[in-house]
């Protein structure tokens, strides 16, 4: 391989469009602005990248058959490059709130829902199903699972993407997911090293600082990564976070040799592929230019340079660093060899194309959906039912209101009605206006029970106003957190509280069955929930196992 070929192998780029060879005018313009050519195939020919990442916003993930066609087109373009090395196609398909590929691909509730169910069997099965479906679509690498230990309830970027606040549980389920994905031939990626769980800053928009001591890092943050390495994880993704205990320079971990080489390679013994988090995030762009960031990441110990904001500047920066001797060709070869070995190990070199006719037989099958439903059924957590409202029996009138994104309110009401309990739906948006609050309270007065859906209500004054108004009606209120479990801290007087950790269809199905008594809640809290005064409102592991 030429030096140009080798440098190309380090990069994973995004491209716009549903096909490799022909795209819409809008996608052609977007490609032209990002990579300087109009189609994904031409982007592969120009930069010879080691990988491509798919996004819904880039129009890559319309449906499974289309994804398979796009993948095959990208591989045809790679085959025509001087080296002919196949492209590793990747995606952020964590499930739950981060899922770039929608239905009919099987939709799982996500990491914290899995953790609420406490089942390693389910974690392996979910990874195996997801991995098999991605491989059928020509996607060989999933940037999952999230190995961060979410010990900060105010964390704005991780939350339910994590398996929770207990390092042992997070380690167990991280390893189980790695085994599941890779048993299906899919490369798993544990992220975000050395741990993004204790921050109140989003690294997409700022540069978080993790103040853990070395002892705290060893006890809290590193166990899931150690477990992933023991499980044979193919790759580990870096975090754009500053960790002074490991590197006092102020550089984020992505650019830190003491962290990536000193800790990850030498202390933990990781021999696989190190991939950066997206290089277009603010957390990695604050100190250095877009031409220098990839060079510094490579020097720190990274192998794969993900999603640079200006591909030409990034590519030219690395190429110049190699030609000048700042980065030796031996160092370049180390990363390229790891990347090529991974591609060969996962069968990409021998068989880069997928059978487009097989996709429908693999993706979104009834058996796969049953696995997702099993995960959701095990996750629903009942925190309290002080008024003995549950289950809601036929003959009682029920109102479903509250957070309404993607039809969740109507979806829950329809599912309850289908189980013999009359339920009316009154959505209140994602941040209810006063008129919506008043309308919901008026409707609640005419019903026996009100189910109010919330999502991150602990940071939403308008959702809090809605729940307060519903409580003031004097009618029984059942509060259901569809995302982060910390919502109940904003209204601790609510007598009945449930958690689903997800608004996926399987989670709404499980919720409706718990509300109507055909499914007993089995979930246990994967985090502790603090009260407003700093005490603990609900302990880790809380969960009532029966609705009578």
For the chain, what's the residue count? 548
**Backbone phi, then psi, for 380, in 5-degree steps?**
-60, 125
Residue among 207, 25, 134 at smallest CA distance from 354: 134
Angle at Cα 1 formed by Cα 17 and Cα 272, nearest 5°? 75
Q: What whole-number distance in Å separates Cα of residue 435 and Cα of residue 33?
A: 44
Name residue, tokens 């199905």: 509
Residue among 382, 341, 544, 362 at smallest CA distance from 478: 382
Calpha distance 97→129 (Å, rounded): 18
Do 189 and 155 contact (CB within 8 A), yes or no?
Answer: no
The region that residue 256 occupies, defined by phi over 0 for left and psi between -120 and 50 for alpha, beta otherwise, is: beta
Strands (E), 152-268: 189-193, 235-238
Nearest to residue 535, comparing CAs of 494, 492, 477, 496? 492
Compute the half-sphere exposure of residue 413: CA atoms within 13 Å on the CB side of its CA.
Answer: 23
User: Rounded to the nearest 5°, which phi and psi values hold at 81?
Assistant: -75, 165
Name the catalytic one among 92, 166, 198, 277. 277
Identify whether 277 is a catalytic site residue: yes
Longest pairwise C-alpha distance within the chain: 79
Q: Which two tokens stand for residue 108?
A: 């799982």
**Nearest alpha-carbon partner for 189 in 91, 334, 60:** 91
User: Phi-psi region for residue 17, left (φ > 0), alpha (ψ -120 to 50) or beta?
Assistant: left
Count other Cβ atoms within 10 Å, centred on residue 9.
Answer: 26
Q: Cβ–Cβ contacts within 10 Å for residue 520, how many?
A: 16
∠ CA 168-302-50, nearest 5°, is 110
> Could you give the C-alpha distances from 447 to 120, 396, 534, in angstroms and in order?
41, 8, 36
Look at strands 529-530 and 536-538 and give their pairing. Answer: antiparallel
DSSP run (H or E) holding 327: none
Instruction: Identify the active-site residue in 204, 218, 316, 448.
Output: 204
CB 504 within 8 A of CB 109: yes
Rounded-to-integer distance, Cα 166 and Cα 91, Å: 27
280 catalytic, yes or no?
no
Structure tokens at 505: 């269809």
Residues identified as active-site = 204, 277
């Amino acid at each position: 391989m030429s030096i140009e070929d080798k440098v190309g192998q380090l990069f994973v780029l995004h491209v716009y469009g549903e096909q490799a060879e022909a795209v819409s005018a809008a996608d052609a313009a977007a490609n032209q602005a990002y990579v300087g050519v109009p189609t994904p195939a031409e982007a592969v020919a120009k930069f010879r990248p080691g990988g491509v990442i798919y996004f819904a916003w880039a129009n890559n993930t319309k449906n499974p058959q289309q994804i398979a066609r796009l993948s095959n087109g990208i591989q045809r373009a790679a085959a025509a490059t001087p080296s002919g090395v196949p492209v590793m196609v990747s995606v952020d398909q964590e499930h739950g709130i981060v899922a770039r590929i929608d239905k009919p691909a099987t939709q799982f509730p996500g990491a914290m829902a899995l953790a609420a169910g406490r089942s390693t069997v389910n974690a392996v099965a979910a990874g195996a199903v997801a991995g098999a479906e991605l491989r059928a679509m020509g996607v060989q690498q999933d940037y999952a699972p999230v190995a961060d230990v979410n010990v900060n309830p105010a964390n704005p970027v991780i939350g339910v993407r994590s398996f929770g606040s207990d390092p042992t549980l997070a380690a167990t389920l991280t390893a189980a997911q790695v085994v599941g994905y890779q048993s299906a031939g899919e490369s798993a990626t544990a992220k975000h090293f050395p741990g993004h769980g204790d921050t109140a800053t989003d690294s997409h928009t700022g540069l978080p600082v993790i103040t853990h001591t070395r002892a705290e890092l060893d006890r809290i943050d590193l166990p899931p990564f150690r477990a992933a390495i023991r499980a044979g994880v193919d790759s580990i993704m870096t975090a754009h976070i500053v960790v002074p205990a490991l590197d006092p320079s102020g550089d984020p971990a992505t650019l830190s040799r003491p962290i990536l080489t000193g800790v990850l390679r030498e202390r933990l013994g990781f021999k696989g592929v190190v991939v950066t988090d997206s290089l277009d995030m603010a957390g990695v762009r604050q100190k250095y230019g877009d031409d220098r960031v990839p060079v510094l990441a490579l020097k720190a110990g990274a192998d794969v340079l993900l999603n640079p904001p200006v591909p030409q500047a990034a590519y030219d920066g690395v190429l110049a660093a190699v030609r000048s001797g700042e980065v030796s060709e031996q160092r370049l070869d180390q990363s390229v060899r790891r990347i090529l070995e991974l591609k060969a190990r996962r069968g990409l070199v021998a068989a880069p194309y997928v059978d487009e006719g097989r996709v429908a037989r693999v993706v979104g099958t009834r058996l796969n959906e049953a696995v997702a439903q099993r995960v959701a059924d095990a996750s629903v957590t009942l925190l309290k039912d002080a008024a003995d409202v549950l289950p809601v029996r036929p003959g009682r009138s029920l109102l479903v209101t509250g957070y309404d994104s993607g039809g969740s309110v109507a979806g829950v009401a329809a599912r309850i009605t289908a189980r013999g309990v009359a339920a009316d739906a009154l959505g209140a948006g994602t941040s209810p206006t006063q008129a919506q609050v008043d309308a919901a309270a008026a409707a609640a007065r005419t019903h026996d029970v009100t189910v109010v859906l919330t999502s991150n209500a602990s940071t939403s004054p308008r959702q809090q106003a809605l729940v307060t108004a519903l409580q003031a009606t004097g009618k029984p209120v059942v509060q259901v957190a569809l995302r982060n479990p910390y919502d109940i801290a904003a209204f601790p007087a609510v007598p009945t509280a449930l958690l689903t950790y997800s608004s996926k269809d399987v989670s709404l199905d499980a919720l409706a069955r718990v509300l109507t008594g055909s499914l007993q809640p089995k979930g246990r809290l994967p985090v502790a929930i603090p009260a407003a005064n700093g005490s603990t409102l609900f302990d880790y592991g809380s969960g009532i196992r029966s609705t009578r």
